[in-house]
Structure 1
Amino acid sequence: MASTPVLLSLSLSLTLVFLLPSTLSQPAAPAPGPSGPINITDILVKGGQFTAFLRLLNQTRVLDQLPNQLNNSNQGMTLFAPTDNAFQNLPAGTLNGLSEEKKVKLVLYHVLPKYYSLEDLVDVSNPVPTQAGGDHGSLGLNFTGRSNQVNVSTGAVETQINNALRKDFPFAVYVVDKVLIPLEFNQAPAPEGSSSSSPPAGKGGAKAPSSPAADGDSPSKNGGGRMGINGMGLIGGFVVFCMAFF
């Protein structure tokens, strides 16, 4: 009877010997894959204070382009999302005064075509190109700060990056309390011809010096006219005197 436990133990050991290699040869379970394409709308909606920015993204149709670009990029993307308060604090009529082209440029100015963590933005080489094109190439943003306190500046607006709605590669979304207005939006172009044409006389410009002919006869002509009249008077008086005498 004592041999029965020994036989069972030996049988179990042999079973483990045969099963162990097959267990070790099986590949490890794959890590959970991505949950699907990144949905920018969902990220902003869950943030709870980006209604105005979402509206502008939809109006300009930029929201139709960014997801496809993001999901097909190896560089990732960084988005700065102004809050609803940021839009409310704009001067009245700012957005309504922009052309459709400038509205698109304004939205793309909030997008970097590369993923940046906050630590990256501290050490980045300024200016950092955005998706917005300008008169001299891509419009850039400047970043300053240290550790987790980073400021972003357009040259016309500066604000602090408060927190991240999403910070994992390939897509980072950072909250800003001001709309990032490009500096060139505040630079009015010079009026056409202002450097070459001068204002006409009598309409705000200096009066052009007048020629003698325009102001009347010259002094010599005036003098000659007075002398002619005096001479005629003397001759007429002499004729009257002669007729009276005869």
Structure 2
Amino acid sequence: MKQTLMFSLILLLLLSPIFSITTLAQSSPAPSPKAPTKPAPTKPTPSTVPSPAPSKPLVPALPQSPTTNPDSSGNQDIIKILRKAKSFNTLIRLLKTTQIINQVNAQLVTTKNGGLTILAPDDGAFSQLKAGYFNSLGERQQKELLQYHVIPVYVSSSNFDSLSNPVLTLASDSPSGFQINVTAYGNSVNISTGVVDATITGIVYTDKTLAIYHVDKVLVPLDFVKPKAIAPAPAVAKAPKADKENSSAENDDDQGQAKKDSSDAVSLIDMHGTVLLSLGVSLLVAAVTAMPC
């Protein structure tokens, strides 16, 4: 019996640590769940970095404008561009009849680096002119009017505010003739000639060397209406000198007439004296002859 008691006591001592660990495990609170970790922000790759915004154009594109091609380096057909854009039939006709289109095309070829800018009035703008106005101009003025709508450099739609006024045109035959003033602010570009104030309403066509813009009025140059300088009158002979010459001539005529009259009077006196002398001699001879011997 003592052996059984001893065996039970040993067994109890051996099993007590196990029961203690189990009880502790059951009585201790469960650990709180860990918060989910946030993923580290990824840096954008170079392809996703936004590129700087291009300069905002001052002139909007027109809905009917031909597709622009900034990288185009081929030959531009101005008439074809205007015809495709529509509403420029009058301008096309005048460019052809005055043959200014030939000059513009030649200018575009020879100034590839500088380019050209055409300010194109539509048919409605030409209809605002006085009836018969264009035909009332001489041939030279008709050409100058069309040349006045061409700037001999390329101006992009976002670059009008960089122009320095006054701006020369293709019609400018001197640094002070046929000029325009360009004012750009906001989304508006205005053209002033001193006679007409027009607005560029949109882009008709643009590439690297040629730009065509629609203007709402025909640009009439100030040179057509300002008075021309009066030519100096030709020099005339001085009046006093002429009077002196006339006076001398008149005096000479008077003196000549007086001499003539005096000569005539002397001749008459001489003639009368001769007649009287002859008469006296005749009477004397008659008297002597009649005396008695």
CA contact (8 A) 1:131 1:138 kept: no
Q: Quick one: distance in 2 between partners of 1:169 and 1:84?
A: 27
1:188-231 Cα shifts (integer Å, max 9, x gaps): 4366679x9xxxxxxxxxxxxxxxxxxxxxxxxxxxxxxxxxxx
Match of 1:104 in 2: 143
Q: Say which of 40, 44, 47 aligns to 2:85.
A: 47
Q: Say which of 129, 153, 157 aligns to 2:196.
A: 157
Which stretch of the first structure deviates more once superposed, 92-101 or 140-149?
140-149
Match of 1:36 in 2: 74
1:97-123 Cα shifts (integer Å, max 9, x gaps): 100000111111000110001322123
Cα pair distance change 1:60/1:171, threshold 3 Å = same
Higher relative contact order (CA 8 A, sep 6+): 2
Q: Quick one: distance in 1 between partners of 2:129 and 2:200?
A: 18
Q: Quick one: distance in 2 between partners of 1:113 and 1:192?
A: 32
Whichever of the two has the greater Rg, that structure is: 2
CA contact (8 A) 1:151 1:159 kept: yes
1:48-82 Cα shifts (integer Å, max 9, x gaps): 10111111101111111212221231101100000
TM-score by length of 2: 0.52
Read off the aligned partner of 1:169 and give its amino acid letter.
Answer: K
Deviation at 1:134, TM superposition (A): 4.7
Alignment of 1:40-189 (within 5 A): 40-73=78-111, 74-134=113-173, 137-189=176-228
SS in 2 for 1:131: coil
Q: Quick one: distance in 1 between partners of 2:168 and 2:175?
A: 12
TM-score by length of 1: 0.61
Deviation at 1:36, TM superposition (A): 3.1
Deviation at 1:167, TM superposition (A): 2.2
Read off the aligned partner of 1:68 and give its amino acid letter.
Answer: A
Structure 2: gaps spanning 5 or more residues? 1-70, 236-293
Read off the aligned partner of 2:126 and give its amino acid letter.
Answer: F
SS in 2 for 1:96: helix
Q: Quick one: distance in 2 between partners of 1:124 and 1:35?
A: 24
Read off the aligned partner of 1:112 and give its amino acid letter.
Answer: I
SS in 2 for 1:41: helix
Which stretch of the first structure deviates more once superposed, 79-88 or 134-143?
134-143
Q: Please provide the CA RMSD for this pair.
A: 2.3
SS in 2 for 1:37: coil
Alignment of 1:202-221 (within 5 A): none
SS in 1 for 2:161: helix
1:114-168 Cα shifts (integer Å, max 9, x gaps): 0001322123110111110356654211111224310011111011100011122
Q: Quick one: distance in 1 between partners of 2:122 and 2:199?
A: 13
Q: Indicate the percent of aligned positions where both proteins have the same amino acid.
A: 39
CA contact (8 A) 1:118 1:150 kept: no
Q: Quick one: distance in 1 between partners of 2:130 and 2:114?
A: 35
Report the number of matched residues.
Answer: 164
CA contact (8 A) 1:163 1:174 kept: yes
Structure 1: gaps spanning 5 or more residues? 1-32, 197-246
Structure that is richer in strand per residue? 1
